[in-house]
Every structure is written in structure tokens, then in C-alpha cells.
Amino acid sequence: MTRAFVFPGQGSQAVGMGKDLSDNSSVARDVFNEVNEALSQDLSGLMFDGPIEDLTLTFNAQPALMAASIAVVRVLEKEFDVNVADNAGYVAGHSLGEYSALAAAGTLSLSDTAKLLKLRGEAMQRAVPVGVGAMAAIMGAEFSVIEEIAAEAADGEVCTAANDNADGQVVISGHKGAVERAMEIAKERGIKRAIPLPVSAPFHCPLMQPAADEMAAALADTTFNAPCVPVITNVSADAVSDPNALRDQLVEQITGRVRWRESVLKMGELGVTDLVELGTGKVLGGLVRRINKEIKGRSIQTMADIEAFATELKS
């Protein structure tokens, strides 16, 4: 069996995230305290108690999701002797989850990852004034069809496929008017579900270039180590181990498409049979069933989940 550890992206945040681990593990508390200190913010308090409106803000949600994921990783490593290098062939993450994957694989330090994600969230919010951009999920059509619809809807503005999440689940991003035109075209073509997303900025499209420029400067000043296992990156949907390539692709990722469907297909080609989502929610574990039914998906977020997983590995 080849296993991949994967890490969730924005949208998986929820009030109470990480609290079970914090209540039951000093190792997890150390992770949350280190992130709080790095950000000079009581982020864990916001994670545990909300309010959800503040937790959902991009610059809070991104480091919070990472902290919850790395708490799971550290508890597995330090309390159950289950480390990434010996128990996974690959790591990957959805959008901001790629930062969690890099922290889990030892490429980035925890404090650097927290600071980078705080900046990433702030930079993405600054890049486009509120109300100028939008995103929408279009369900029930092949990716190539959505690409055509986005190109037709652009009409001189930006409209592009931002997230290729699974068969029949594609997110588009760009100028608000162009995204609305794309939704109308989709309905005219008989695609029944086109849903505007409650986001504050149009992520993963060319409008994010100012954020990419900010992140490029910050990432250039950050130490990148070689990962202990290859990273299946969002930009390439391929296995990458070179630290400089990983750094460059984090910059590209800001404006580029999240190729999650292709990433999971690549994992299958590489022999992955077990995809384990570490952190909050069960989104990625659910998507894998729509992409490759040969890969088993599961999610680990509580101490009970960790104990069951560790026991299974050692049996």
C-alpha cells in the first residue's frame, strides 16, 4: 500500500476546530501556542470559540486550518510514533493546504508557515476590492466544457476555471460580471447547478497577481528545505521535491488553477491506494471517491481518529 497524507483548504473551517486535540494533548497545545506566538494573536481561541464570521475571514481561516492540520501531524509523530516520512509516500494540499503539506514534510517551519498564510490571506484580500470579483461552483459538467464557458463569458474581463476539484465540480473565478455571465451561459447549456460562492475575493485567477507579487517577495526570504517525501503540487499535479521549484510553484498557485482532480489521478498513477486527510473536515476524503474509486479516502481530525489510525497501522 502507498499512502498519501493530504491537507484541506479554505471552506473546511468550523468553530471548535482543533479543540478536541488541544483538550487531550500537550503536543497539540504546543502547536497552537507556537502559531499564536508567531502571529501575535490568539488564533486558537478564535478556532475553539469563534465567532465563525471572524474565523472565516481569509487571513484567519488560512493559518487556522494549517494549525489544525499540523496539530494532527505532530500528535501522530510524537505520541504515536507515526511520522510522515515512514508512513506516507506523498503529501498534497488543496490551495492553502499545500502550505500545510510543506510544513508536514519539513520544507517549512511551523512559525514561517503561519506567518506566510496570514500574509497570503491579507494579500489576497488586498488584491481586488470587495465587490469587483466573484467565484462560482458549476456542477455537473466536464472541465473542458466549463473552460469554454468561462472563455465565452470573459468578454474582455477575467473569467477562468480556478479549481478543478473533481469530475463535475469546477469553480470559476474572475470579475463579478463575467462570473455571472458564465453562470447564465451554463444554465442556457442545460447545466442545472451554478452556485455563487460566499467568498471575499476571486482566488486563483489573474486578478490575484498583486497578491502573487507580495508572496513572491515573502517566499524569497523564507528558508525552504527538501521535503521528506515528494509533494504533489496544485500547479503541476505532479510530484515535486526540489525546494526552489516548490517555492516558485507557491507563487504560481496564487493566480493559477488548483488541479486537484489531476493531482488525485496522478497519485493513483504513482500507486497511492490510501488517501488520508489530516485536519478539519472531510472534503478531500469525499472528493477522492468521485475521482478514483480505487483510492480509499479517510479523514483524521480528533484524538479518537488518531488513536484508531495509529492502532490500525501497527496491527
Which of 280, 275, 270 minimizes the C-alpha distance to 230?
A: 270
| Angle (nearest 5°) at CA 98 between 95 and 99 | 110
Which pLDDT value is given to residue 198? 84
What is the mean predicted confidence (pLDDT) over 21-32? 98
pLDDT tier, 88 (very low <50, low <70, confident <90, very high otherwise): very high
Which pLDDT value is given to residue 143? 95
Q: Which residues of 41-73 are buried (b: 16+ CB within 10 A; e: fewer)?
A: bebbebbbeeeeeebbbbbbbbbbbbbbbbbbb
Q: What is the pLDDT of residues 126-159, one digit of tens each?
A: 999 988 999 999 999 999 999 999 999 999 999 9
Which pLDDT value is given to residue 265? 98
3-state secondary structure of 20: helix
Contact 64, 46 (CB under 8 A): yes
Residue 204, pLDDT above cutoff 80 = yes
Give residue limits of the domains in the chain: 2-127+207-314, 133-199
Which pLDDT value is given to residue 75? 98
The catalytic residue among 22, 44, 69, 95 is 95
Which pLDDT value is given to residue 314? 87
Match domain 133-199 to its CATH number in 3.30.300.30, 3.40.50.920, 3.40.220.10, 3.30.70.250.
3.30.70.250
Q: What is the pLDDT of residues 253-262, one digit of tens each?
A: 999 999 999 9
- Read off φ and ψ for residue 245, nearest 5 degrees: -65, -40
The catalytic residue among 204, 236, 263, 299 is 204
Residue 1, pLDDT above cutoff 80 = no
Residue 60, pLDDT above cutoff 80 = yes
Which pLDDT value is given to residue 315? 83
Share of the chain above pLDDT 90, in %: 96
Please spell the DSSP secondary structure of 199-245, one letter per residue: -SS--SSGGGHHHHHHHHHHHHTS--PPPSS-EE-TTTSSEE--HHH
What is the mean predicted confidence (pLDDT) over 44-60? 95
Report the alpha-carbon distance of residue 111 to residue 114 in Å, rounded. Answer: 5
CATH topology of domain 2-127+207-314: Malonyl-Coenzyme A Acyl Carrier Protein; domain 2 (3.40.366)
Residue 309, pLDDT above cutoff 80 = yes
164 Cβ neighbours under 8 A, 6+ residues apart:
143, 170, 257, 258, 259, 260, 261, 262
144 labelled catalytic: no
94 labelled catalytic: no
- Of residues 131 and 179, the one with the higher pLDDT is 179
Quote the pTM value: 0.96
Q: Which residues of 293-308 are buried (b: 16+ CB within 10 A; e: fewer)?
A: eebbbebbbebebbee
- Read off φ and ψ for residue 221, nearest 5 degrees: -95, 10
Share of the chain above pLDDT 70, in %: 100
